[in-house]
């Protein structure tokens, strides 16, 4: 597939559509994780519109760029991104969480094209992405592997095993994006089990680190879309985000981790997301 010359207008449009559609899914199912959906949606819109080289008609293409949604609970973000990219029809989203729906509360690659690995338990995406990047390294293949983790998720030790391995092997084709909204399910990350200084941690593990505004499409596109070039280390992009971004009463609120809207809140959100 070819990427658009100026993807920014389409990224903006896509992100807005994803927020509205994801919130409707959560409202109708009365289930989901909308706070984390909204902190990640600008990152996913940027990746799927402007960065990833993939062909939705051939989701198993060995040469494809890979994306792994390690924070698998943010299905509102992932499922809308895949539908909009053309991996499956949009009306599949209507079945979200229904009995026997292909759209489970966490993604299943055996049901949904475009899903690389089944996530849900935290700390699984980066280690699997590391293995994909090693396959590419062995074959000297040019594809890239992107993985998005939450920030609280980095409390899982498996991430740091993989971070060591990726740094040790110089997996330059691997990009980790951290959705740094500073809130986990119950409280702030720093009061729960602090991550700062996160950039220094990754540098110490042998990574190249960039920090961006995770809702600034141009900055995300610049950082994520930059070719690997002469870089010899894996890339960690710490994306500063806002949980619940885009809806006034949801922003910065841990309660919206898996909070679901009532009718009034849904109407209010749709007015704000216009």
- Contact residues toward another protein (CB under 8 A) are 62, 66, 108-110, 116-121, 123-124, 127-136, 138-139, 141, 157-158, 161-162, 164-165, 168
CB of 147 to another protein, least distance (A): 10
CB of 129 to another protein, least distance (A): 6
Q: Which is nearer to another protein, 39 or 130 (CB)?
A: 130
CB of 14 to another protein, least distance (A): 26
DSSP track, the chain: ----SS-HHHHHHHHHHHHHHHHHHHHHHT-S-HHHHHHHHHHHHHIIIII----TT-TT-TT--EEEESSTT-HHHHHHHHHHHTSS-GGGGGGTTSTT-SS-SS--TTTSTT--S---STT-HHHHHHHHHHHHHHHT----EEEEEESGGGGSHHHHHHHHHHHHHT-TTEEEEEEE-SB-SSSBHHHHH---SHHHHHHHTT-EEEEEETT-HHHHHHHHHS--TT--S-EEEEEE--TTTT-TTTTT-GGGSS----HHHHHHHHHH--
Q: Which is nearer to another protein, 168 or 231 (CB)?
A: 168
CB of 109 to another protein, least distance (A): 6
Q: Which is nearer to another protein, 155 or 268 (CB)?
A: 155
Q: Which is nearer to another protein, 121 or 197 (CB)?
A: 121
Q: Which is nearer to another protein, 66 or 243 (CB)?
A: 66
CB of 42 to another protein, least distance (A): 26
């Amino acid at each position: 597939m070819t990427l658009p010359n100026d993807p920014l207008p389409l990224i903006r449009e896509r992100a807005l559509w994803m927020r509205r559609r994801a919130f409707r899914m959560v409202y109708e199912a009365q289930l989901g994780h909308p706070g984390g959906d909204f902190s990640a949606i600008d990152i996913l819109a940027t990746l799927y519109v402007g960065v990833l080289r993939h062909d939705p008609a051939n989701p198993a293409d060995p040469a494809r760029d890979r994306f792994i949604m390690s924070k698998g609970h943010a299905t509102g973000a992932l499922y809308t991104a895949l539908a909009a990219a053309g991996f499956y029809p949009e009306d599949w989203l209507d079945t979200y969480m229904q009995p026997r729906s292909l759209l489970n509360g966490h993604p299943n690659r055996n049901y949904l094209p475009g899903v690389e690995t089944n996530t849900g338990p935290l700390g699984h995406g980066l280690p699997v992405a590391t293995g994909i990047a090693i396959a590419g390294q062995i074959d000297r293949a040019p594809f890239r592997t992107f993985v998005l983790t939450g920030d609280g998720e980095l409390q899982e030790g498996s991430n740091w095993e993989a971070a060591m391995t990726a740094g040790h092997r110089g997996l330059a084709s691997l990009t980790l994006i951290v959705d740094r909204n500073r809130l986990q399910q119950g409280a702030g990350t720093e009061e729960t089990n602090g991550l700062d200084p996160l950039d220094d941690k990754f540098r110490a593990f042998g990574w190249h680190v960039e920090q961006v505004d995770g809702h600034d499409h141009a900055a995300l596109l610049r950082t994520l879309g930059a070719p690997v070039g002469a870089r010899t280390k894996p890339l960690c992009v710490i994306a500063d985000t806002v949980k619940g971004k885009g809806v006034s009463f949801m922003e910065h609120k841990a309660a919206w981790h898996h909070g679901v809207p009532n009718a009034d809140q849904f109407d209010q959100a749709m007015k704000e997301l216009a």
